[in-house]
Amino acid sequence: MDRRRFIIFGTAGSVAVLTGCGGSGGGAAEAPTPSMGPAPPPASPPASNPPPPAAVSPLTAGQPLADLVRLANTSTTPNVFAGTLVARRANKVMLPGTSTEFWTYNSSVPGPLIEVYEGDTVRIRLENQLSQETTVHWHGLPVPPDQDGNPMDPVAPGATRLYEFTLPVGSAGTYWYHPHPHEFTAEQVFRGMAGLFIVRSRTDPVPSAIEERLLVVSDLRLAADGTIPPNSAMDWQNGREGNYLLVNGQHQPMLSIDPGQSQRWRILNATNARYLRLALTGHTLTLIGTDGGLLDAPLPGLDEILLAPAERVEFVVTAGLSSPASAVLQSLPYDRGGMGMMGFSNTTIPLLTLSHSTATRAAVALPSMLRPLTDLGLPTTSKRLVFSSGMGMGMGGGMMSFLIDGKSFDPTRVDLRSRRDEIEQWTIENRSSMDHPFHLHGTQFQVVSRTRRGVTIAEPFVAWRDTVNVAAFETVTFKVVQRHLGKRMYHCHILEHESRGMMGVLEVVA
């Protein structure tokens, strides 16, 4: 079977590298977010002068990394965050002479950053101006099921709903939000709907002198006419990959850092199906956090970090005092298996370039302990799930379908039951020849071990995760507790697989 190939990265001949935009010199002030088509809703009045520079396509490499647009807090009550997300179409110029229609939150790609503190109550109104149903799912957050944007709770076109939840102390971490309607999740996300959601701690142990950078990686496929084409049959099978990997909506931007400076990077993999094997040339990385927040202690000296779709990571990067003129954050080749997929994710892709300024910074040390992170304890019950693939019926025939326990998703069925507050051990066995990132809603889990070819490796450190890659023919075991009653989704986070039924319903009962 042949397939269309869109794996053309770094079209060096066609992009102009901007000069004279050396960024902020490493200070706290970043360049303002460049306008990308229609302006986001007014959070503050725009400066009256000077006139905005001529629009530069976000696909032009080498521009200073944009700050994320921030969702304004309209609440005046302390400890309450209130805001509005409008799901709507927005047009932006990506390729010269064309216009690209995205589906967005508040016309922003990626969606606006939501930033709250532990203990806050969050009230977010969703206005659905799309022509199909949608929901907002708070990926990884411990919110009640009826506030979590399940596919069983759609918001119809033209309708509005309020999501409300309170985030417990201890939930500080790097989360995200995205649509979760029945069968349309993959398309709504690849057309632009996904945003970062940070829960901060008022007692964050990472020194504030270690400046933070937020990086949202998304995957855009553009046709020559500037449109975002629908999924092909192969995309539905393998998961969609695009022809531009974007960071904060920009292609290969430039992030400035001073010699000797340490920065804390939070990275979200908001792609439908792209595995990011992250490495920074000439540097090692110090892992400090995963999906659900900080580790108990920093883990220095890593050469690379694999970030499957939907995963997040926090690490610290320290620029050398005599660093080369530039270092590149790149995604190294990764073989995630699958049908005739040689080449998918199998090239090195630059994500962004570091630009070193001349001002030297003194090193800032990380504390040796970040926060106490205790093991969940001894499980009192266990569950086992099997990922498999089989030849699908219908749909043109010959296409693989991806199943959990031999079944395809049915929103009216309950597949598993758990008792609230019970410590469970879950084992996910992947009997297919392709990697699948497993995700469970409403809580964070602790991976215990991974087994490949009969060899079991205990997880070397305790970490909170809500998504874990289960490689082809691998088995992963984790411990988990659910704290809210109601129905939770679990699924593969290759969104094409999720939207085509690689998903189940867990009911949490008293």
Q: Does 465 bind ligand C2O (CB under 6 A)?
A: no
Q: Select the span of 281-289, 318-326, 452-460, 488-496 touching ligand C2O (CB under 6 A).
A: 488-496
Beta-carbon contacts of 54 under 8 Å, excluding residues fewer than 6 positions away, are none
Contacts (Cβ under 8 Å, ≥6 apart) of 222: 94, 95, 100, 228, 242, 243, 244
Residues 6+ apart with CB under 8 A from 499: 183, 184, 185, 186, 187
Interacting residues with Cu ion between 435 and 474 (CB under 5 A): 436, 441
Q: State the DSSP code for 236.
A: H
Alpha helices in 18-151 (DSSP H): none
Interacting positions 490-509 with Cu ion (CB under 5 A): 492, 494, 497
**From Cu ion, ligand C2O, none, interface partner of 180 (C-beta below 5 to 8 A by class):** ligand C2O
Please state the length of the chain. 510
Helix (H) or strand (E) run with residue 497 in it: helix 495-499
Q: Which does 349 bind (CB under 5 to 8 A by kind): Cu ion, ligand C2O, none?
A: none
Mark residues 127-146: x for contact with ligand C2O by CB under 6 A, - for none.
Answer: ----------x-x-------
Two tokens, residue 1:
């079977």
Using the minimum distance from each CB to Cu ion, give the nearer residue, 221 or 497: 497
Q: Which of Cu ion, ligand C2O, none sits in contact with 494, Cβ below 5 to 8 A by type? A: Cu ion
Strands 173-178 and 195-200: antiparallel
Given ligand C2O, Cu ion, none, residue 436, with its beta carbon under 5 to 8 Å by kind, binds Cu ion
Q: How would you classify the pairing of strands 254-257 and 293-302?
A: unpaired
Query: Interacting stretch for ligand C2O, rule CB under 6 A, among 283-291, 354-362, 471-479, 489-497?
Result: 489-497
Q: Report DSSP state, residue 273.
A: S
Check residue 139 for interaction with Cu ion (CB under 5 A): yes
Give me the least distance between CB of 231 and ligand C2O, in Å please: 18
Q: Which stretch binds Cu ion (CB under 5 A): 7-15, 158-166, 350-358, 432-440?
A: 432-440
Check residue 505 for interaction with ligand C2O (CB under 6 A). Answer: no
Return the residues of window 435-454 that contact ligand C2O according to CB under 6 A.
Answer: 439, 441
Q: Compute the distance between CA of residue 237 and CA of residue 235 in angstroms, rounded to an integer.
A: 5
**500 near ligand C2O, judged by CB under 6 A:** no
Q: Beginning with the edge strand found earlier in the chain, give each strand of the sheet holding 100-105 in spatial order.
A: 100-105, 80-92, 121-128, 160-166
Residues within the interface to ligand C2O (CB under 6 A): 137, 139, 178, 180, 310, 439, 441, 489, 491, 493
Residues within the interface to Cu ion (CB under 5 A): 139, 436, 441, 492, 494, 497
